[in-house]
Amino acid sequence: MPFHGAYDESLGILVFLFEGVASAGDVEPFTKEAVRLADEHRCLKMLSDFRGARLGLSTSGIFKLTEIFQASGIDETWKRAILVNRQGGDYVFHEKVARGRGHKVRVFADEEDALNWLNWEPTTEEQLGPEPAG
């Protein structure tokens, strides 16, 4: 599956555009390029645009993606948005598995929503929660 990755300086994020069918053989080249760009630009926010692609992975292959990402360096310190034509199926399954393992990843059908989420930084109060009563 062809993909193109780059750092978008205006957005301050890594952007990957995917085309065709994503297979198990595409995972390693993608993770290597993502980690390389992240190191080069000191950026751990990534938008993966799958609107022109589809996942050609088995359910067990999708389940293993988080482990593969973790081992490659794409871990819970990253914030990843996945952009799709419509919510559903394999992408949401990956999101649930990854979030269950502490990764910050969400699936979006709207590019603006994805970018807003990637660039949202919680305030101190949102991070800590409300002051205790008393």
Give the domains, in start order, of the chain with CATH numbers. Answer: 3-119 (3.30.750.24)
Question: How many other CB atoms sit within 10 Å of the CB of residue 127?
Answer: 8
Amino acid at 33: E
Can you list the positions of beta strands (E) in the chain?
3-8, 13-22, 45-55, 79-83, 104-108
Three-state secondary structure call for residue 51: strand
Is 68 within 8 Å of 38 (Cβ atoms)? no
Tens digits of residue pLDDT in 74-86: 999 999 999 998 7
Of 70, 134, 59, the residue nearest 101 (C-alpha): 70
For the segment 60-71, the average pLDDT, to the nearest whole number, is: 91
The residues, ordered by sequence, that sit 6+ positions from 1 with a Cβ below 8 Å of its Cβ are 18, 19, 20, 21, 22, 23, 26, 53, 56
| pLDDT for residue 51 is more than 80 | yes
What token pair was written down for 104? 């910050």
Q: What average pLDDT is seen over the chain?
A: 89
Residue 121, pLDDT score = 77
What are the two backbone dihedrals, phi and then psi, of residue 26, each rounded to the nearest 5 degrees? -90, -15
Tens digits of residue pLDDT in 10-41: 999 999 999 998 888 889 999 999 999 999 99
Tens digits of residue pLDDT in 86-126: 766 788 899 999 999 999 999 999 999 999 999 987 665 66
13-22 vs 3-8, strand pairing mode: antiparallel
